[in-house]
Structure 1
């Protein structure tokens, strides 16, 4: 008879997770090296008890981390997973009802970013013995429906453990998806609170070490040959490098390939760091928030080689950045879903590193023309000069965001990690930040979730520390995102985890304010102002008397306030340098003028403007919008949109 161990379902799950290992070539690490949790009546006697038991009996098996917000738990997991190149992530346990529902945004973010996160939301009684329980959602047309069913469309894997015996197959299936580079994202196992505490004789085999080997598929000969033929005929090829290059650890292969061929590279937000910013072939960000250099070469590119990118509308400037009527797409991606995008007739479904190695062999005698190479060098030099000017201190009492970024850049070290997610900062960082390390740029721009920054930065730092890497993590956050979710600063204080947070105070939503203005909506509802009872809006000049620096102090971290004067930028650089020298978390507060913009990268983003309006501003914006749309490519064919 097979050996068994008497455990509750929660105890069995926690012990199982503690014995899962990811193997990626020569790298072997714990797939789930820790669990975040907030407890309530749904899980305090289940997962909570199991974590306590192992904390006493086997403290290294599944370390527990306390969080302040369920959404933020998942954000931490995503930050951790990114810095571990998707080989490891954290689990997040929440209670029934609101606790579980709070994780929904995090689930969507993980899945959209193709980053693994294990979610363990508690569920109401499987037996329905005390139906309905506190915090239970009831629908008369489906009495079996619970809050957790909302995770179904947000997860790459979803299942519910209705009976203890189901745990084995569900847990193994969940691990397969967590470690599948083509299918990973949010993995959700719903756990009814009564089942969590139920005992079962668990096969010892289920609790032993198990390895999950990450697939690195090589390109098939036929698709590779067709892709090579297209690249060979190219006169103006361009690479669009995405996060897949980072996750595959393919930076060396990419660098060797572009140095041999001379093909220039534009990067998506997720691809920041695939090449050092000063590499001759790196033209920087591409698309709606891209650099002028990358977008100008993209305009005339005849063959676009997408490597590990999901081609979001920002990367393609809403399908307006590629203007060559004969352009074709050679898409290298481990996920066929992404490889076939843009109607590509040349998809290569393969791992980025393996595909680049194969392309380097097949194209070892290919090189772009000297004229095209010189064009890339010239455009890069011109953009570099523009950025230098944008970084130059203006001497204004309230500086613009570009010079703030320049000050933070000047004080940072080459391996420091910049973390951001939403607002105007992602666009400016995509254009301006000079990435010097493959893991040095972490901008969550698939979901672009306000409030991600501090929690995601904490996850990044936690992930680095797990690898013995003590580089600094610099979180840049606007006041809008800070107000959305700043409470994980308490988590950093509780564990003594060092973060550097640069809080850019612009009294509202700078990005949407600018967008609102450009589409004729006059920054309506985007400024933090006192309510005007006469105009019945928030468009007045009286700013809110909110003191975010004082708020941050209340969390227990060090705070530096930069005075609004001509020396603000030099004081900011000095404050970042001092924060780097400290062993404590520091928040630096600086005022910013949201109307001082970064250099134009000649990108566009499709945001529809009303066809009819009584507002002159909207009418004018519609005229501009119709003109911009003429450059938008259809999925197939070459005719511009009507």
Structure 2
């Protein structure tokens, strides 16, 4: 039996029947679709979505976004909150609408988050070529701007004929539901093909359940990992996003408690172990805590759990300084598991941690090691309390804003952030008690993710209060989804931190000897010819109000506390604005990050920065460790010597 539908109608019907299952729980893979309609998709997917809504054929709600990049960010945040078991689809028109999704696709793939992109494409028939917004590449008529999505997609296909659709749809969902392969998935849909009718087999639209695997460790790999860990004197666990996505928090705590091994975390892994747990030592790396970084420098075995080892985690490969350090990497993705010449354990994080706990028993670290790092941790917590209540004047420090939020928020409330100085302060200072209370996108660190990411987070878990932390720089790049939140009645709490420029890049500019050049929002000074005049006369709070949000302006931390409490109790999206001092002190992470400094310069500031850079660079290493001893190699060498 066949069903006659357009390609657009077939895509919509197919998506409504795809489900995921893990641990016995089934849920819709694609419970909704974001979009902005144009001439590329209004008659295809647009008509199909209207038809299913008007005839109550299926439940695939459509959400009108204001920016194509933002809707991909929102979908990625949705997938992150749902532990990669659900995501949203995104449709855009041809040309600029589709290329606007490239940055969002890169963010999703870099973060290993599933997102389905349905960009419209030029006419497959080429009957009217070149059409409006067509690139018209003279080298090949088969190229369109959607080819820019290839390198940032885990799967990419163009549907030039209806017959190609079934295999492409099945391949797309296979990748979306594979925890080791997932990321952005792109199906390009030419605008004429979207509207073309075809007789589809009924089987294409049957209910399909995609079982999300939990691979267990290979016995031999587990044996090697256990032997390595048992030989450690100063081991350290680094918990990454995989520990959260696999819902391995309990298993992680059980391993830490059974062995006494301290647990550091990455941005994606924060909350996998509660901040006040005896084995929790906070963030590791360039913006990590001094406690975790001291342990990392001395660690002889580093156990990475679901981490991709970004340069911030490794402090640009200077953090794990022990010359004899060995890595044991537990990861569902072989690519990540093999990093740093590791003892590789390819497995689901929860299953791997459980197996390690059982196999290691009754081994544990020396009590002196535990006592030492817990004493350092207790001292650090006092430093955090001081930073949270700094009393900086005349404008408060950003750390005081975080302190006020920490005092006021419920442990289940979610912090959403992505770029600027806030991620560094958050990894250093924030105290997460819940695996889903911390959504800081720091793989692609994309300015503009914040409000869109908050929207997707709230859509994925409406029972939690979501607090978006956004600086003026990121706000100016992408604030439009405030209007989407208002239109959908999705309540967000947005903390808008005004510091008149780029705080983190300003500090980085200082560090590399560039004297904060071009990092402040200033008027052009006619006397100097530079952007060093008065502050720009912009009113971001008024802008937020114009997009439909309630706005509360604050100047002091006391006013801020009152405003945050009011926003939390409100049913409407509320923006709380506060101005902070970008030069206020922040505790040191005692770490380094590789940002090259000009090798030659006429500026004394740059010369000094270059000297400091070369000193830091000298500690960089490749983490190449000796291969494990194999007796067979000895016999082979003996035979060679005999010859």
Same-fold call, TM > 0.5? yes
Q: Per-residue CA shift, 1:462-497, capped at 9, x if unaligned?
A: 0003xxxx1100000000000000000000100110
For the 8 Å contact 1:159–1:170, the answer to whether it is kept is: yes
CA distance in 1, matches of 2:185, 2:625: 38
Is it true that 1:201 corresponds to 2:202 in the alignment? no
Q: Partner of 1:149 in structure 2?
A: 147
Aligned partner (choices 430, 433, 436) of residue 430 of structure 2: 433
CA distance in 2, matches of 1:37, 1:607: 38
Q: Partner of 1:20 in structure 2?
A: 18
CA distance in 1, matches of 2:425, 2:86: 30
CA distance in 1, matches of 2:353, 2:55: 47
Is it true that 1:536 corresponds to 2:529 in the alignment? yes
CA distance in 1, matches of 2:242, 2:262: 18
CA distance in 2, matches of 1:393, 1:586: 26
RMSD: 1.0
For the 8 Å contact 2:20–2:177, the answer to whether it is kept is: yes
Aligned partner (choices 185, 189, 214) of residue 191 of structure 1: 189
Q: Which range moved further: 156-165 or 597-606? A: 597-606
Is it true that 1:617 corresponds to 2:605 in the alignment? yes
For the 8 Å contact 2:491–2:573, the answer to whether it is kept is: yes
CA distance in 1, matches of 2:171, 2:37: 26
Q: Partner of 1:495 in structure 2?
A: 488
Q: Per-residue CA shift, 1:323-350, capped at 9, x if unaligned?
A: 1110000000000100011122x01011
Aligned partner (choices 528, 534, 548) of residue 540 of structure 2: 548
Report the secondary structure of 2:150's partner residue. Answer: helix
CA distance in 1, matches of 2:215, 2:177: 14
CA distance in 1, matches of 2:334, 2:198: 40
Q: Partner of 1:418 in structure 2?
A: 415
Q: Partner of 1:479 in structure 2?
A: 472
CA distance in 1, matches of 2:437, 2:171: 33
Q: Per-residue CA shift, 1:505-542, capped at 9, x if unaligned?
A: 000010100000000011111000001234222133x1
Q: Which range moved further: 162-171 or 628-637? A: 628-637
Aligned partner (choices 5, 28, 34) of residue 7 of structure 1: 5
For the 8 Å contact 1:393–1:569, the answer to whether it is kept is: no
Q: Partner of 1:233 in structure 2?
A: 231
Q: Per-residue CA shift, 1:187-242, capped at 9, x if unaligned?
A: 00000000000000111110111010011110001111001000000000000000
For the 8 Å contact 1:451–1:484, the answer to whether it is kept is: yes
For the 8 Å contact 1:408–1:572, the answer to whether it is kept is: no
CA distance in 1, matches of 2:392, 2:104: 40
Aligned partner (choices 502, 507, 531) of residue 514 of structure 1: 507
Q: Partner of 2:280 in structure 1?
A: 282
For the 8 Å contact 2:417–2:450, the answer to whether it is kept is: yes
For the 8 Å contact 2:102–2:152, the answer to whether it is kept is: yes
Aligned partner (choices 362, 366, 379) of residue 365 of structure 1: 362
CA distance in 2, matches of 1:324, 1:250: 28
C-alpha displacement of 1:60? 4.6
Aligned partner (choices 379, 383, 391) of residue 380 of structure 2: 383
For the 8 Å contact 2:340–2:622, the answer to whether it is kept is: no
For the 8 Å contact 2:124–2:190, the answer to whether it is kept is: yes
For the 8 Å contact 2:324–2:625, the answer to whether it is kept is: no
Q: List 4+ stretches of structure 1 deviating above 3 A.
A: none
Is it true that 1:608 corresponds to 2:596 in the alignment? yes
For the 8 Å contact 2:325–2:625, the answer to whether it is kept is: no
What's the TM-score, normalizing by structure 1?
0.97
CA distance in 2, matches of 1:533, 1:187: 50
Aligned partner (choices 146, 155, 159) of residue 161 of structure 1: 159
Q: Partner of 1:580 in structure 2?
A: 568
C-alpha displacement of 1:597? 3.0
CA distance in 1, matches of 2:451, 2:483: 11
Is it true that 1:626 corresponds to 2:614 in the alignment? yes
C-alpha displacement of 1:425? 0.2
Report the secondary structure of 2:509's partner residue. Answer: helix
C-alpha displacement of 1:312? 0.1
Give the total of aligned pairs: 626
Q: Per-residue CA shift, 1:433-485, capped at 9, x if unaligned?
A: 110111000000000000000000100000003xxxx1100000000000000
CA distance in 2, matches of 1:113, 1:539: 37
Q: Provide structure 1 residue ranges, at least 5 long, that are not aligned to the other structure.
A: none
CA distance in 1, matches of 2:499, 2:375: 35
For the 8 Å contact 1:15–1:61, the answer to whether it is kept is: no
Q: Partner of 1:179 in structure 2?
A: 177
For the 8 Å contact 1:411–1:574, the answer to whether it is kept is: no
Q: Per-residue CA shift, 1:157-203, capped at 9, x if unaligned?
A: 00010000100000000000000000000000000000000000111
CA distance in 2, matches of 1:24, 1:452: 28
